[in-house]
């Protein structure tokens, strides 16, 4: 695995030839953060959906003799080239060289460095002071916790240095830089997804603006989601109403038959009733109130029950009979005639039963 790591340059001085020389911290122990695309590009270890991957660099790996030996006599570049630096492309990328005296300083790996390229020196003097190591390593994908209680996702093994790049911002921290006596780039720490990140003022202004736009967009999305949800409810209700109102031929026949039954029953109870333009409920209530004056205060259920009972006992069995009654009896006497006919019918049926029994 080929990686690039970041750190910074220290105590620079100019030589008589105009070169820049410095003793530089180029690597350190501890946990450093990498993008999933850097350390698990094929998602072979399930890191693709992580914001960052925490990689532990134990001191026995950083300061192993084999690893430290590869930090000596490395080419220095401005930023990282798109490929490892070799004898074939050294002239294309190199602006300087790391010396051979590699040493440990606490948690840091320190090397002497010389920058020969004038443009690179001007970049350093203008504030581009930090260093990022380009190196190969193996990953031990065993998660764990350091002795300081910090969690990590994997361990770097067999670290082999390739080149040292001068960059604007180091992964390894600001102690890894060229020249403590040189002007610092002002950095501010922000936290994203629980991860602290140091950025310069310009980057922070851009990030803050993006955060504000994201917050506004989130609010707008919440409002639109609520509006859409409300409209969905309205649409569902309207669809149900349309479905309920859909009148198929079968439904139409059933509705006509039901209406006819209500009218027929109402006229048996109250032959003079006018049903045109009235709902079924209104027809039932008018018929019942005609026969039962105290029914005016009944609720719909009570009216329905009374209507059913009255209709079952009514003697006028069809509209033809009602019409006949209305034709031969003055309108005001229609009800009395209907009731007299009903009484005569009941007596006739009663007498017929008795005659047959005798």
- Are 75 and 114 within 8 A, CB to CB? no
- Are 72 and 87 within 8 A, CB to CB? no
Residue 72 is predicted with a pLDDT of 95
Other CB atoms closer than 10 Å to residue 125's CB: what's the count? 16
Going residue by residue through the chain, which has 358 residues, state the pLDDT in tens, using 9 for 90 and above.
555 555 566 568 899 999 999 988 888 899 988 888 888 888 999 998 888 889 999 999 999 999 999 999 999 999 888 888 999 999 999 999 999 999 999 999 999 999 999 999 999 888 888 888 888 889 999 999 999 899 999 999 999 999 998 987 645 443 333 333 333 445 566 776 666 666 666 567 778 778 888 888 888 888 888 888 887 887 887 777 777 666 677 777 787 888 888 999 999 999 999 988 899 999 999 999 998 888 888 888 888 988 988 888 875 444 444 444 444 444 445 455 555 555 555 555 555 545 544 5
**Helix/strand/coil for 307:** helix
Contact residues for 178 (Cβ-Cβ < 8 A; gap 6+):
8, 9, 10, 12, 20, 22, 24, 113, 124, 129, 130, 131, 166
| DSSP summary character for residue 23 | E
DSSP 24-53: EEEEE-EEEEE-HHHH-TT-TTS-TT-S-E
**For the CA atoms of 57, 62, 64, 69, what is the dihedral angle to 10 degrees?**
150
Q: Please, how many CA atoms are within 13 Å of residue 346, restricted to the half-sphere of its CB?
A: 10
Is the whole model's pTM more than 0.85, yes or no? no
Residue 185 is predicted with a pLDDT of 44
C-beta pairs of 213-218 under 8 Å, 24+ apart in sequence? none
Other CB atoms closer than 10 Å to residue 249's CB: what's the count? 7
163 forms bridges with which residues in the sheet? Answer: 134
DSSP 277-306: T--HHHHHHHHHHHH-GGGGG--HHHHHHH
Rounded to the nearest 10 degrees, the angle between the axes of helix 249-269 and helix 300-313 is 70
Residue 316 is predicted with a pLDDT of 46
Which one, of 140, 100, 97, lies nearest residue 117 by Cα?
97
Which one, of 162, 176, 206, lies nearest residue 188 by Cα?
206
Rounded to the nearest 10 degrees, the angle between the axes of helix 280-291 and helix 249-269 is 10
Residue 126 is predicted with a pLDDT of 85
In whole angstroms, give the CA distance from residue 161 to residue 306.
100
Residue 202 is predicted with a pLDDT of 57
């Amino acid at each position: 695995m080929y990686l690039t790591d970041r750190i910074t340059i220290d105590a620079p001085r100019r030589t008589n030839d105009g070169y820049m020389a410095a003793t530089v911290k180029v690597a350190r122990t501890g946990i450093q953060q990498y993008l999933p695309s850097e350390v698990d590009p094929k998602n072979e270890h399930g890191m693709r959906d992580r914001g960052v991957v925490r990689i532990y660099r134990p001191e026995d790996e950083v300061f192993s003799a084999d690893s430290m030996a590869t930090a000596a006599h490395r080419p220095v570049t401005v930023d990282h080239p798109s490929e490892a630096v070799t004898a074939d492309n050294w002239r294309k990328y190199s602006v300087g060289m790391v010396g051979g005296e590699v040493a440990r300083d606490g948690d840091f790996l320190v090397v002497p460095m010389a920058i020969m390229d004038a443009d690179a020196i001007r970049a350093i003097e203008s504030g581009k002071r930090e260093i990022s190591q380009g190196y190969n390593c193996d990953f031990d994908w065993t998660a764990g916790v350091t002795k300081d209680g910090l969690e990590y996702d994997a361990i770097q093994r067999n670290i082999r240095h390739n080149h040292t790049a001068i960059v604007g911002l180091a992964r390894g921290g600001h102690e890894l830089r060229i020249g403590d006596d040189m002007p610092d780039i002002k950095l501010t720490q922000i936290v994203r997804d629980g991860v602290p990140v140091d950025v310069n003022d310009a980057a922070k202004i851009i990030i803050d603006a993006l955060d504000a736009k994201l917050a506004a967009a989130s609010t707008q999305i919440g409002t639109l989601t609520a509006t859409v949800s409300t409209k969905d409810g309205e649409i569902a209700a309207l669809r149900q109403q349309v479905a309920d109102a859909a009148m198929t031929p079968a439904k139409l026949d059933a509705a006509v038959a039901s209406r006819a039954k209500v009218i027929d029953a109402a006229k048996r109870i109250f032959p003079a009733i006018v049903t045109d333009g009235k709902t079924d409920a209104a027809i039932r209530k008018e018929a019942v109130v005609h026969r039962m004056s105290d029914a005016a205060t009944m609720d719909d259920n009570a009216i329905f029950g009374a209507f059913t009972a009255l209709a079952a006992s009514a003697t006028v069995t069809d509209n033809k009979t009602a019409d006949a009654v209305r034709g031969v009896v003055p309108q005001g006497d229609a009800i009395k005639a209907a009731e007299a006919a009903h009484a005569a019918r009941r007596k006739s049926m009663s007498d017929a039963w008795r005659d047959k029994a005798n």
